[in-house]
Structures are given as structure tokens and as C-alpha cells.
Amino acid sequence: MMQENKNIDLSGLKETIQRLESGGGYGYEASPISLGTSAVDDRLPWGGLARGGLHEINGGNAGFGFHAGLLRRAAGADGCILWCRHAKVERETGLPYGPGLARFGLRAGQFLFVRAKHPVDVLWAMEEGLRTPGLAAVVGDGIQPDFTATRRLQLAAEAMNTPAFILPPLQKTTFASAALTRWDIAAVLNKHRNKTMRWQANLRRCRGGAPKNWIIEWDEQTLRFDLAQILADRTTAPDQRQSA
């Protein structure tokens, strides 16, 4: 597991945030988060994933891997990531697996974990984090906020130009959401046995854009997403099969 991570409870979060603020921010610009492939970036209205915005990733374990890739693209190798988790999720799954995150170019020392007993406390911790200039990304794990809560998170993310990610529970009740994007992620079998991680990424909702569907994979050498090799010569095929 990730022994280098700082596990902090809510009582210590403000002090941790103050230390981050005193050290200054990471200086991220307003540029979007590129996924590394123009086939996806060019179809998003921001030219990539909006940095100052809230994004929802559904899909359980498959969604977790896709999300880890997004975190690497957002935070780089040094950015500090605040991961706020519902205690029920941590009891069921434990901490994210360090060697697994390393496959995405993420280091254990980049993470600050907050464990909260109630969803409302997860939301509070996320908002506090999003108002902190020293963080590269904020994650809410195991919660499904309603529209009012997601609106608050979206406004906070936009104000500080910090990306926020929601990982809802697998068995969730769908609420209306102010998230800029909502993704459904499913694993895709790789018949080539080269251990490349591959997903069907369904962009179910996109503010200012249209729903899309891609089969993409993670390149562990370049640390970016790309269209799956089987689709490299027919990039429009997924969009022709699905219109929403």
C-alpha cells in the first residue's frame, strides 16, 4: 500500500491546507488538460478536459484506471492531489494500490488522503481543497452529490482553476449534476496480451459539446491516452455506433 501518503482526518485538513498555501501554488495555467490524443482532445469544447471544472467518472475498477490516467495528465509527476474518500469505500477497498498508480506515472508522495464518515464531510473537504492554490487536483470518492452540491464544487473548481473529479459508488442513484463532463468507462479485452490498459470511454454528457464514444488505451511509455490500435485507421467508427 501507499505508506508514504499522508492520511489525515478532517480536523487536520485546515492546517494542511494552510501549509500548502504558505508554500505557494503550482502555477497551473488556464490551459485544458490534454489527454494526449487529438482524436479526443479536438472533440471536447475546451481542446481537452476543462482544468477549472468538475468531472464525473463512472465505472468502478475500470473507471478507476481511466481516472488515474486523467490525474497524471492533470497533475504531472509532482502536483499534489487531495483525495477525499467516504469511509465506507475505504473499508471495502482499502487505499489505492501504490504500484498500480505507478503504472500511470503517479508517485505515492503526491497524495493527501482524507477519510470522512459522511458524504457531506467529503463534500466539505473537497470545497476546502478546491479553494487552496497549492493543489493540482481534488477527488471525491464514493459519493453521488446532488445538483446543488455539484454546482458548488463546479464554481469552486472554476474560481481556482483546479480540476475536481467525482468517483460515484458503483451502485448509485443518478442525480442531475452540474459537472462539465460525465463519463461511463468499461474495460475492453486486449487480445494482443501486451498488458496495455484499454477502455471504452463513453462521454455521456459534455457541457457545450456532444456525447461521444471512443475505445482508448494508456501508453505507459509516453504517459498519455491514445486511440486503441485496432481503431487507429477508423477513428470515426465509435461515434457512428453511438449518438448519446
Q: What is the DSSP code (8-state) at residue 208?
A: T
Q: Which residue has the higher pLDDT, 18 or 43?
A: 43
Is the pLDDT at 242 greater than 70? The verdict is: no
> Does residue 92 lie within any of the structural domains?
yes
Determine the Cα–Cα distance for residues 137 and 126; give it in Å rounded to an integer. 10
User: What's the mean per-residue pLDDT of the chain?
Assistant: 84
Is the pLDDT at 211 greater than 60? The verdict is: yes
Which CATH number fits the domain that encloses residue 118?
3.40.50.300
> Does residue 201 lie within any of the structural domains?
yes
Is the pLDDT at 226 greater than 80? The verdict is: yes
Determine the Cα–Cα distance for residues 197 and 182; give it in Å rounded to an integer. 21
> Does residue 176 lie within any of the structural domains?
yes
Q: Which residue has the higher pLDDT, 72 or 230?
A: 72
pLDDT of 232 reads 45
* Domain tally, the chain: 1
pLDDT of 189 reads 80
> Does residue 116 lie within any of the structural domains?
yes
> Does residue 99 lie within any of the structural domains?
yes
Question: Which residues face 149 on adjacent strands?
Answer: none
pLDDT of 244 reads 30
Is the pLDDT at 148 greater than 90? The verdict is: yes
pLDDT of 223 reads 96
**Mean pLDDT computed over 126-134:** 93
Contact predicate 143/166, CB 8 Å: yes
Task: Output the CA angle 236-242-244, nearest 5 degrees.
Answer: 125
Confidence band (pLDDT; 50, 70, 90) for 4?
very low
CA atoms within 13 A on the CB side of 183: 27
Is the pLDDT at 84 greater than 50? The verdict is: yes
Is the pLDDT at 240 greater than 60? The verdict is: no
> Does residue 221 lie within any of the structural domains?
yes
Domain residue limits at 183: 6-241
Is the pLDDT at 10 greater than 80? The verdict is: no
> Does residue 79 lie within any of the structural domains?
yes
pLDDT of 98 reads 85
> Does residue 1 lie within any of the structural domains?
no
**Mean pLDDT computed over 214-232:** 86
Is the pLDDT at 147 greater than 50? The verdict is: yes
Rounded to the nearest 10 degrees, what angle do helices 13-22 and 119-130 cross at? 10
- The tens digit of pLDDT for each residue in 181-203 reads 999 999 998 776 566 799 999 99
